[in-house]
Structure 1
Amino acid sequence: MRATIVILAAAGLVLTGCARQSGGGGQAQEVPHGYVEGAEETAETQSRLVLVDEQAEKAHVLDLVTGKVSLLAEVGDVESVTGDGRFAYLTTATGDVRVIDSGAWTVDHGDHAHHYRSAPRDLGTLAGRAPTAVATSATVTAVRSSDGTVRLVDRSRMEKGELAETRTLKAAAAVPFGDRLLVAEGGQVRVDGAGSPVGACADAAGVAVTRRGAVFGCADGALLVTEKDGTFTGVRIPYPGERPRDERATEFHHRPGSTVLAAKAGKTGVWVLDVTARTWRLLKTGPTVAVSATGPGSPVLCLTEAGELRAYDPRSGKEAASTALLRTPLTGSPAIQVDTARAYVNDPAGRVVHEIDYNDRLRRARTFEPGFAPAHMTETGR
């Protein structure tokens, strides 16, 4: 399974609402708080799953509020799917990235949030070379191909249905962070790729954005980049002792914005990175198919090759619960998607998607039958 990394720096878009706006003739007109043109604002999160039927090469959207499944587009041979809270990025066998607007998203203002829904739509394709990695913020999306080329796409124009590339650069990794771009190249991380280094990061691979800052996976651990009053600072979070290259954390998975990250540690188990405490913990779970962290003080989830879902306490490292979940032998690309209350696991062999209450000993809350084998999955609306 080729992995696509997506970082949620800030859900949704830059709003022109949340304020009074001036109308024609200079007369002030009241714009509804959080207004987004063409979208319906709702009282609750409008979670959706973008699912890919690998056999029919089609993308579907499962509305988790209504339970309805709708066909969206024919997408060809898809190898991996990931999302950023609104858009789904489907990497094809050729390396091109198909972009799907799921039509569901949340705008988080810290002390309150706005939830929106609109009709899903297919935005088209970004050319690339497999494998690819995608990182996004409220203003820009960065798509990196395996040749080291990073193409920047205007996020605001994506929200209007247009894929518009604005710049191309070379980098080992690039992360939109607020209104700036953090670029890793030549063993250093720099702001916008220029100026003095923020910190050292050899062999950068794997990135995440949390409420505490941006995280880069490095050869010797992680680099946490924070910003205060326009000044960027990098802090090393080294591994607990030397680790072989095949046990490095190269893909981080977590609940959007969370400060606890999970990553595969080769065949040994799962890394848990607590960004607030700036510590690593190695869970010796054995080989895993998928992993994710649900948040501070909440379980770390992993899916085994035998189709078993397990929950671990991130502080003690002890197994808290387990359940036989997926039909075996496994097919497609089972994934774990998490939000503030539930986890979703696609079961391609069983042709279902499971909704899991991870705070209730992995209880199966609902099971969805989309009518096809959901080979790839990502959650949006969060």
Structure 2
Amino acid sequence: MSSMTNTKTLRAVWPAALLGAAALALTGCATNAADAGSDSSATPTADGTRITLTYDGGLLTLDQDLQVVADDAIDGFTRVNPAGDGRHVLVTVPEGFRVLDTAADPALTDAVFPADTGGHAVVHGDTTALFADGTGDVTTFDHTELDGADLPDVETTKSEAAHHGVAIELEDGTLLTTIGTEESRSGVRALDADGEEIARSEECPDVHGEGAVTGEVAVFGCTDGALVYDDGAFEKIDAPTEYGRTGNLFTTEDSSVAVGDYNDDPDSEGYLLDQIALIDAASGEYTVADMPEDVGFTFRDLARGPGDEAVVLGSDGALHTFDESTGEQLESYPVIDAWEGPTEWQDAHPALKVDGDVAYVTDPAEQKVHAVDLTTGEVIASSDELPGVPNEIAVA
């Protein structure tokens, strides 16, 4: 482990009024039914789960019956992430992270969390952390204070250099944020609630992917294993192969195991993978499970099920579940037709999100989305043909 350094990092608190004014200036003359400064008591609430889908030229909001309730125009490829409050979704736009209100129509508000090249948005507890790749700035806020187009107060933390990074804030206020430059990433540092660095490790090459398992233990993916932060210190768990990259992690608060994608070939081409990483932060065990023969998946096709099992949408069109401790395959549920991996990672291809007992599966070939009961494998709902080919998906 590399030596710890004590450096003071600027963590500035910005009031909502100032941030909102800057956001509205950035978004220009965009119009919305939920105006900034509106009376929050008149704001509607979403009735049940809402699903947000991107397509070329727009954003769709669907209700729990997979019926379209809002269709908002937006230019170019964009990403969507849940804000964490069960209602709002963060939409990556050139100005930063724009707030979509799934309880409204139109759903896309004027509120924007400013960010230069907005990247990862990570929810943990009541806090959401936004990373700006263009500056390395980390913006954190209490997502329970989101209300329509009104932004909550935020805290901004500077990174040592701009890079494609990620951050997560633990319940005690510890901020874990990646270390890197525009050329490379090397590890993670821990800052206390005052912005003082209390620990760091640069033993995580190309760090990417994060999550918190049970006991407020954080896990980060590396190209040679995983980096674990527990009780003020970092520990490295080595991958079973010299090169063993995990770039996306999926965790739950009830399990010590982080589930991720796994690639043991540094020269591999394309985006389909056929192995799953099961990283037990408590025991230090790193297990790799194989997908069925000739079945692959991408970074969009991993999730956790209602019993903490790993859920994977395979290129054979089926949902495959695995025991998160042993890697044993449990079930396979056919959902859509077989599909091929994308040419570019931004290209529309089947994606998976899980909410409780229900898995939501996009079907670009048919321009639909399906809901699957993971306790039975039954497809319990399917949308009508959507206005565009679904690409990214978020569940609020």
So what's the TM-score if we normalise by structure 1? 0.70
Aligned to 1:197: 199
Contact residue 294 and residue 300 of structure 1 kept, 8 A: yes
Pick closer, same or farther for the CA change 1:345–1:261 going to 2, 3 Å. farther
Aligned to 1:152: 139
CA–CA separation in structure 2 for the residues paired with 1:296 and 1:224: 24
Q: Deviations over 1:307-326 (max 9, x none)?
A: 33322233332333324433
**2:302 maps to 1:313:** no
Pick closer, same or farther for the CA change 1:72–1:368 going to 2, 3 Å. closer
3-state DSSP of counterpart to 1:149: coil
CA–CA separation in structure 2 for the residues paired with 1:339 and 1:322: 18
Pick closer, same or farther for the CA change 1:188–1:168 going to 2, 3 Å. closer
Aligned to 2:37: none
Q: Which amino acid aligns with 1:144?
A: F
Cα offset for 1:365? 2.1
Q: Deviations over 1:50-70 (max 9, x none)?
A: 11222xx12121111x54321
List gaps (5 residues or longer) in structure 1: 1-35, 104-116, 227-231
Pick closer, same or farther for the CA change 1:374–1:199 going to 2, 3 Å. same
Aligned to 2:297: 288
Contact residue 255 and residue 340 of structure 1 kept, 8 A: no
Q: Which amino acid aligns with 1:58?
A: G
Pick closer, same or farther for the CA change 1:291–1:98 going to 2, 3 Å. same
Aligned to 1:89: 90
Aligned to 2:285: 279
Pick closer, same or farther for the CA change 1:77–1:126 going to 2, 3 Å. farther
Deviates more, 1:45-54 or 1:163-172: 163-172
Q: Deviations over 1:47-97 (max 9, x none)?
A: 11111222xx12121111x543212522211243222443323335x5843
Q: Percent identity?
A: 19
Contact residue 39 and residue 118 of structure 1 kept, 8 A: no
Aligned to 1:225: 229
Match of 2:247 among 224, 246, 250: 250
Q: Which amino acid aligns with 1:62?
A: L
CA–CA separation in structure 2 for the residues paired with 1:139 and 1:316: 31
**2:372 maps to 1:356:** yes
Q: Which amino acid aligns with 1:377?
A: I
CA–CA separation in structure 2 for the residues paired with 1:199 and 1:155: 27
CA–CA separation in structure 2 for the residues paired with 1:358 and 1:343: 7
Q: Deviations over 1:9-65 (max 9, x none)?
A: xxxxxxxxxxxxxxxxxxxxxxxxxxx9556789xx8211111222xx12121111x
Cα offset for 1:366? 1.9
Superposition pairs of residues 69-108 of structure 1, within 5 angstroms: 69-85=68-84, 86=86, 87-92=88-93, 96-103=96-103
Match of 1:182 among 176, 181, 186: 176
Aligned to 2:361: 345
CA–CA separation in structure 1 for the residues paired with 2:78 and 2:106: 25
Q: Deviations over 1:167-219 (max 9, x none)?
A: 25116432122234223336442224523316554333211133422222244
Pick closer, same or farther for the CA change 1:80–1:120 going to 2, 3 Å. closer
Pick closer, same or farther for the CA change 1:220–1:46 going to 2, 3 Å. same
Higher strand share: 1
3-state DSSP of counterpart to 1:243: coil
CA–CA separation in structure 2 for the residues paired with 1:124 and 1:50: 17
Contact residue 353 and residue 359 of structure 2 kept, 8 A: yes
**2:156 maps to 1:167:** yes
Aligned to 1:51: 53
Contact residue 300 and residue 311 of structure 1 kept, 8 A: yes
Cα offset for 1:121? 4.8
Q: Deviations over 1:278-337 (max 9, x none)?
A: 432211226312333425855322223343332223333233332443345556142211
CA–CA separation in structure 1 for the residues paired with 2:308 and 2:69: 33
Q: Which amino acid aligns with 2:297?
A: T
Contact residue 322 and residue 329 of structure 2 kept, 8 A: yes
Pick closer, same or farther for the CA change 1:316–1:140 going to 2, 3 Å. closer
Q: Which amino acid aligns with 1:317?
A: G
Q: Which amino acid aligns with 2:326?
A: S
Match of 2:391 among 361, 375, 382: 375
3-state DSSP of counterpart to 1:100: strand
Q: Deviations over 1:87-126 (max 9, x none)?
A: 323335x5843332334xxxxxxxxxxxxx9995524444
